[in-house]
Amino acid sequence: MRIVVGMKWVPGTTSVRIDPKTGTLIREGVPSIVNPHDMPAVELSLRLKDKYKGEVIAISMAPPPALKGLEYLIGMGVDRGILVSDRAFAGADTLATSYVIAKTIEKINREIGKVDLVIFGQETIDSSTAHIGAQTASWLNWPYIYYVHDAKFVDSKFVVERVLEDAVEEWEVELPAIIATHMKALKPRPVRLINKIRYKVEKPIMTWTNAELKLDPRCIGLKGSPTIVSKTVNVPEVPRKKIVYTPKSGEDAAKWIIETLMKDDKASKVLMKYLSMEGEAQ
């Protein structure tokens, strides 16, 4: 089977700083990484390849530094990478991004070979919209199943397992289809030296610009994006009492906590209610 897997190259730190003057995120000097939530998607694609043969193609719509991310995925065992990169794609919201991705998949389908399955990650850590999977499926009119943590063929039917808040479900899915993984789905395999050598020798990554994709400029970048960010502000703080106590001992702390909570109208009520409950909630 031929599997396409989506990868986003994202700022890697959790301690992102804000420029106090402009109120925007400081991204300079922040090293980028493969979006961690894409790793289970890559791992699932490689497991399917291990089992059923075929090829895995990683795609990323991004500026050229994302080549590094594709290189990493090749190191894990992905067969080839396609960087989809053009200034004309800049400023895209998820609708315009998914359009380019859908058209890339169509081009792979036409020129490289039939795509059976596309796997995305749960969401990206820099925007965490979880839009791209469903939107790409909508452009292609393919079925879509989200929060997948396993996939296999059963009697030549493709079956995926996914989790919801309160249930685990098995779905039969007609291919071609798009699925997106759950972020805790699978532990990714490490990079292997042999794959890195292959990378050096074969150079299995290509770049497609809009000269190759030939998309209408009105459908991509800013023009193809119905949503715009009109402004950003700091997250307003929730007003809290901020009473801080440094106790002399554990007992002192315990006494202070109970006294303090008992003086608080809301806290004392709920505390009494829970303490008088029979049995355990957990």
Ligand X SMILES: Nc1ncnc2c1ncn2[C@@H]1O[C@H](COP(=O)(O)O)[C@@H](O)[C@H]1O
Ligand Y SMILES: Cc1cc2nc3c(=O)[nH]c(=O)nc-3n(C[C@H](O)[C@H](O)[C@H](O)COP(=O)(O)OP(=O)(O)OC[C@H]3O[C@@H](n4cnc5c(N)ncnc54)[C@H](O)[C@@H]3O)c2cc1C
Residues near ligand Y (CB under 6 A) = 14, 125
- Binding test (CB under 6 A) with ligand X, winner from 17, 19, 64, 129: 129
Q: By the 8 A CB rule, do 99 and 224 touch?
A: yes
At closest approach, how far in Å is the CB of 228 from another protein?
A: 6
What is d(CA 238, CA 260) in angstroms, rounded to the nearest whole number?
A: 20
Q: By the 8 A CB rule, do 186 and 43 touch?
A: yes
What tokens were used for 89?
């794609």
Q: By the 8 A CB rule, do 181 and 132 touch?
A: no
- Of 58-66, 77-85, 199-207, 236-244: span binding another protein (CB under 8 A): 236-244
* Residue labelled with tokens 């209610």: 273
Nearest Cα residue to 58 out of 175, 205, 215, 168: 205
- Binding test (CB under 6 A) with ligand X, winner from 4, 34, 57, 61: 61
149 binds ligand X (CB under 6 A): no
What tokens were used for 210?
């809009």
- Binding test (CB under 8 A) with another protein, winner from 171, 209, 212, 222: 171
At closest approach, how far in Å is the CB of 208 from ligand X?
A: 12
Query: Cβ–Cβ contacts within 10 Å for residue 78, how many?
Result: 26
109 binds another protein (CB under 8 A): no
At closest approach, how far in Å is the CB of 129 from ligand Y?
A: 12
155 binds another protein (CB under 8 A): no
What is d(CA 116, CA 211) in angstroms, rounded to the nearest whole number?
A: 26
- Binding test (CB under 6 A) with ligand X, winner from 2, 6, 76, 224: 6
Q: Which of residues 4-33 bind another protein (CB under 8 A)?
A: 11, 14, 16, 18, 23-25
